[in-house]
Chain A
């Protein structure tokens, strides 16, 4: 059987082999660890799912291949199979040529002619692999595409052809913005391609493209070290360029007085200490997470995300928290913030942060969410703005807590603990007044925090 690059979450398209635990010729049992992969989001050890002998390793350490690619072969009898890493060689699922060997296997359900040469999933990662490639499988009929490219009908009633749906997904074209030129207003492939090429031209004007070699040439007289991009670095680069270019950001700032919040934290942590073995230790950030969850509950219109042709408004509030790691960052998501106590959130945050630093986050631990928090207060940063992490509709940038002079009773200056925050909003979901209401609610919650913990 073929060992395939596993799917690690909806948005993960490829993985990089970082380690092999077994060598060719090794006998493996189901459950034995085979290899380790690093995706743009996580790293993971992949076990064998069947007993047998490892007869071929197609992807060596360092190789990157799409989800579904053949990584290795495990043979029950130790004989090398016929399958090759065809999909790894052509990972793009590109247009199939007339004699594309990738389509060869499709014959077998229809009185296959005997064929020599490679057999592989017919559309790279799009296609469910056959369980027994190379051997005759009388129950093997066809390779159904393993994924769906969205609905055939938009909420407004516009129809989209299957090819147009696939192309729109591949090229990141927003179908909701298109007018169909096909029969009955159907969106066809040509409409998507036209939109994609005009978008490309548009982008080209905005960003004067410096090619890789041009940039290197600029610094040819300067000593430098080339740092190859990790999967995570590439993903951060791609996603944030995408986020900043496609999400209409606007920013709202506020100063929040946190004396009461700090006092609450101190009382809670002191109480935990009195129990002997402290059961929890709240951080300011834990309380801000809770506070944002509470604020989103009170402003339900902001507890929503943009979904292309509609807005998804949630009942619960899941909040991502940026966690800095050695060469990048992760944003694990705490679910049901509105229904969890600060100590519960605190526990979960510690667990997720530890997993993030060990790069062991599971896809379910970093996907989804409605908003996020990025806190640079511990570095003394006073105020900053953050880029929204799609698909979220907002992100809260939290600065350091400082003692600042404020106007006290009778116009006399008094010092108070102040914290500046900036909320970045996706204008497609959150208009200015709505964002201001969310921020004002957050300020009220954090300045009078007792309400959110009872």
Chain B
């Protein structure tokens, strides 16, 4: 057991998989010699050499095109898109090529690749470098979408993503790179499509993802000590596949649902889950499901304004407290 940062967990996760399997390669902008703009890939170039860890030109389409070609011809590439906002630049690969090739060739080609990307706000990067795009990825049939919130989950879910036979969008949160957490020694492999109950509670279920997870946990603590409301906090972790079993099971126990989402409100991931819960667990609900999200608005670069936009502990606590009538 060692304490590791989220950033170093990325390095360890990629290393673990590259050591295990010669076919795993890694490519992206400034990821090799420079060790990544977020310093999340430091040392990989020295360890695995220029053949398996490659710097690419500044062209997202080239990165993903090369990754797809490599995947179709037998490698298991990990490609980095520096900011998840840039997924829009290479969306054809994300939406039309990766997730469709296996289907359209009747399984003759596969696309076992992972797109790692820095997602989310909190680092004052402004409207074009701060977005939470998990909902963009979630809506495409054929893609899997994962967003870890802890160093341990970074390693475990990255390993599961590399080993998965289909394309996986792996959303690392830029503002979590510096957080630290306990990580067991040895190989870590997690399972896609599993949510994690991080804090049990009987009064309400809070679903959160990535950077919203620590905020949900802090809110739950405050709600318990100051208002006597015991919230169950679930880290959704994997949007596709989605662990509806854990989510519906929790709602069946607590009868109340809150989602804490960093993505903008319209068509955010929580909207889909609320829809599922309304369909399947309607008669388990003892109050309306409530979504706590970033407003449907471009993100500002100003620190004060950005902080005001994102769901924070005060807002989460206030909303849940008022909804629960405490």
| Interface set of A (CB-CB < 8 Å, partner B) | 95-100, 103-104, 106-107, 110-113, 122, 126-127, 141-145, 149, 161-166, 182-183, 188-189
Contacts and interface: CB of A to CB of B under 8 A. Distances in A.
Nearest to A107: B244
A182 B323 CA distance: 10
A98 B283 contact: no
Contacts of B197: 98
Contact of A96 (B191, B240, B241, B248): B248
A122 B242 contact: no
A115 to B, nearest CB: 9
Nearest to A163: B286
A106 B286 contact: no
B280 A143 contact: yes
A166 B242 contact: no
Given A110-B240, A110-B241, A110-B244, A96 B252 contact: yes
Highest count of chain B CB atoms <10 Å: which of A95, A110, A112, A188: A110
B135 to A, nearest CB: 14
Contact of A111 (B191, B242, B246, B252): B242
A162 B191 CA distance: 34
A141 B282 CA distance: 15
A162 B282 contact: yes
15 contacts: A96-B252, A98-B197, A98-B249, A99-B245, A99-B249, A104-B245, A110-B241, A111-B242, A113-B193, A113-B194, A113-B241, A144-B280, A162-B282, A182-B325, A183-B325
Contacts of B280: 106, 122, 127, 142-145
A103 B253 contact: no
B236 to A, nearest CB: 12
Contact of A188 (B193, B243, B283, B287): B287
B143 to A, nearest CB: 8
Contacts of B252: 95-96
A107 B241 contact: yes
B245 A103 contact: yes
B285 interface: yes
Nearest to B272: A110
Nearest to A190: B286
Main secondary structure of the interface of A (DSSP, over half): loop
Contacts of B250: 98
A229 to B, nearest CB: 30
Contacts, number: 90
A161 B193 contact: no
Contacts of B194: 113
Given A95-B253, A110-B240, A182-B325, A165 B283 contact: yes
B76 interface: no
Interface string B32-47: 0000000000000000
A151 B196 CA distance: 35
A149 B253 CA distance: 19
B94 interface: no
B287 A182 contact: yes
A111 B279 contact: no
A188 B286 contact: yes
A73 B325 CA distance: 48
B284 A106 contact: no
B84 interface: no
A270 B46 CA distance: 114
B249 A142 contact: no
A189 B203 CA distance: 12
B199 to A, nearest CB: 13
A95 B194 CA distance: 21
B255 interface: yes
B152 interface: no
B242 A107 contact: yes
Interface in B262-293: 276, 279-280, 282-287
B192 interface: yes
B12 interface: no
B286 A100 contact: no
B287 A98 contact: no
Which 10 pairs between the two chains have the least Cβ-Cβ distance?
A: A113-B193, A166-B283, A142-B279, A96-B252, A111-B241, A163-B286, A110-B242, A106-B244, A103-B245, A111-B240
Interface string B174-208: 00000000000000000111100100000000000
B234 to A, nearest CB: 10
Contacts of B116: none
Given A96-B253, A107-B242, A113-B191, 11 more contacts: A96-B252, A97-B249, A106-B245, A111-B193, A143-B280, A161-B285, A161-B287, A162-B283, A163-B286, A165-B283, A166-B283
